Amino acid sequence: MKFQAPKGVSEYFPPRSSWFERVIWKLEESALAANYRLIETPIFEDTELFARGVGETTDVVSKEMYTFEDRGGRSITLRPEGTAGVIRSIIENGLDRGQLPVKVFYTGPFFRAERPQAGRYRQFFQFGIEAVGVDDPALDAEVISVAHLAFQKLGLVDYQIQINSLGDQETRSRHKEALLTFLRGRNLDQETMERAEKNPLRIFDDKRGDIQKKIEAAPLLSQFLSPTSIEKFQLVKNYLNQLQIPFAVNDRLVRGLDYYTGTTFEFVHNRLGAQSTICGGGRYDGLMETLGGQALSGIGFGLGIDRTLLALESEGVELTDRQYVDIYIIPIGETSRNLALELAVNCRRGGFVADIAFGDRGLKGSMKAADKIAAHFVLVLGDDELSSGLGRLKRMSDGEEFSVSLTSLVEELRAFTSR
């Protein structure tokens, strides 16, 4: 029987895995530069965490979660998003009792039972940051800037930052009443109307063309923003302009999770079709309190690593394979194999990438292998080298050879590479 990966999962192997790895490096580099620190949370959590945190009326909770009962009879869910688990960890471990804001980043696999298509997977990889404990529009701008800087360092160009404000509780309450009155007169199907009654904002996230046509004249949140919300949103825009980060205001941007309030944003790539959002996030005032913590504000984003890689490929960005080998050692005969392994380990301890021609491959085949893996230097070990303690180090870029002492190979290699 030949096994295959489950349908709808993203899987990475060489050389594309090097590009995947590079994306993560650049994201981490951008987060670390802004003083965000790593947090690792479980891949599965109590189902109620997501039901309460994400919202029972969302598609994520009602349709897309991988939920099962463990051996202890507890309802467990594979994490469909990152923020709820991070907030739970912050509360449980008392991080909110220290210096604020708490600034963390995370990366790893997430799971949603969705219909697989390009850029939408059942197991997908995400990078995210969260800044918890301070309600400051400057922090909103910083969070957006972290993603923007990472995308710039990766070489992405063809994307747009869309922002909106979902307002405060006063804003949401007045808008909800007006929106429901409007929707009740639109002749919507029963299922759509039932969902709207629970959370009318979700209607703006409905991708069906006929629904969007019916709600073209729907009242928008921006028409109901309180003076405080207007002031905060204007400050966010001012900061982004000051940072020279281009953006567009999208009055219909609501995101798909219930916990968002205030500033919300998406990075939309112009070449990815239906799955064009490569990063999205916003402020979530009230989420920590909902999950049993203090009434602290927070803001963050979730960035799709899979879609970012697709975006890079769509723009033709050259993502070279990260693989390189400083020295490739070719043992000729069983006796020299022991020394080859010892020398390789010593080189690795010295900070070099070292590999060996394993198996029974001959000299010609081993040299071809060295060329294929882009080895910088090659060292052949035979009987003569063993008896003399000297070897010939070949530089593959120009074919020049150097005599080296095997007992001081690391030092000599360091001298050659520093020239």
What does the pLDDT look like over 274-313, one tens digit per residue?
Answer: 889 999 999 998 899 999 999 999 999 999 999 999 999 9
Is the residue at 150 inside a domain?
yes
275 & 398 share domain: no
Mean local confidence (pLDDT), 129-149: 97
Mean local confidence (pLDDT), 307-321: 89
Of all residues in the chain, what percent carry a pLDDT higher than 90?
67
Is the residue at 178 inside a domain?
no
- Residue 304 confidence (pLDDT): 96
30 & 156 share domain: yes
Lowest mean pLDDT among 68-72, 175-179, 391-395: 175-179
> Where residue 322 falls among pLDDT bands split at 50, 70, 90?
low
The answer to whether 418 and 403 have CB atoms below 8 angstroms apart is: no
Mean local confidence (pLDDT), 321-345: 89
49 & 131 share domain: yes
pLDDT in tens, 104-117: 999 999 999 988 88
The answer to whether 48 and 250 have CB atoms below 8 angstroms apart is: no
Give the integer Cα–Cα distance in Å for 309 and 314: 9
- Residue 411 confidence (pLDDT): 94
297 & 334 share domain: no
Number of folded domains that form the chain: 2
Query: Among the three residues 260, 288, 314, which one is the final residue of a domain in this structure?
Result: 314
- Residue 257 confidence (pLDDT): 66
Residue (of 156, 92, 139) closest to 307 by Cα position: 156
CATH code for the domain of 67: 3.30.930.10
**Exposed, middle or buried by CB within 10 Å (0-12, 13-18, 19+), for 176?**
middle
Residue 63 pLDDT more than 90? Answer: no
Residue 389 pLDDT more than 80? Answer: yes
Give the integer Cα–Cα distance in Å for 253 and 267: 11
Query: Among the three residues 295, 314, 333, which one is the final residue of a domain in this structure?
Result: 314
108 & 31 share domain: yes
79 & 123 share domain: yes
Query: Residue 222 in 3-state DSSP?
Result: helix
Residue 256 pLDDT more than 80? Answer: no
pLDDT in tens, 3-26: 999 999 989 998 889 899 999 999
347 & 269 share domain: no
> Where residue 419 falls among pLDDT bands split at 50, 70, 90?
low
Give the integer Cα–Cα distance in Å for 246 and 324: 37
Helical spans, DSSP H, in 102-224: 137-154, 169-183, 190-198, 209-214
Lowest mean pLDDT among 28-37, 117-126, 316-325: 316-325
Is the residue at 216 inside a domain?
no
Q: Which amino acid is at 393?
A: L
CATH code for the domain of 406: 3.40.50.800
Average pLDDT in the chain = 91
- Residue 368 confidence (pLDDT): 93
Query: Among the three residues 280, 314, 348, which one is the final residue of a domain in this structure?
Result: 314
The answer to whether 168 and 232 have CB atoms below 8 angstroms apart is: no
∠ CA 134-138-139, nearest 5°, is: 45
232 & 352 share domain: no
310 & 347 share domain: no
Q: How many residues does the chain have?
A: 419
Task: Give 357 or 207, the one with higher predicted confidence.
Answer: 357
118 & 20 share domain: yes
- Residue 25 confidence (pLDDT): 92
pLDDT in tens, 77-96: 999 999 999 999 999 999 99
> Where residue 119 falls among pLDDT bands split at 50, 70, 90?
confident
102 & 125 share domain: yes
Is the residue at 6 inside a domain?
no
Mean local confidence (pLDDT), 49-67: 86
Q: What region, left, alpha or beta, does residue 257 occupy, with left being phi > 0 and alpha being psi -120 to 50 degrees?
A: beta
Residue 388 pLDDT more than 90? Answer: yes
The answer to whether 307 and 119 have CB atoms below 8 angstroms apart is: yes
Give me the domain span that covers residue 41.
Answer: 16-168+226-314
Q: Which amino acid is at 264?
A: T
Mean local confidence (pLDDT), 179-199: 82
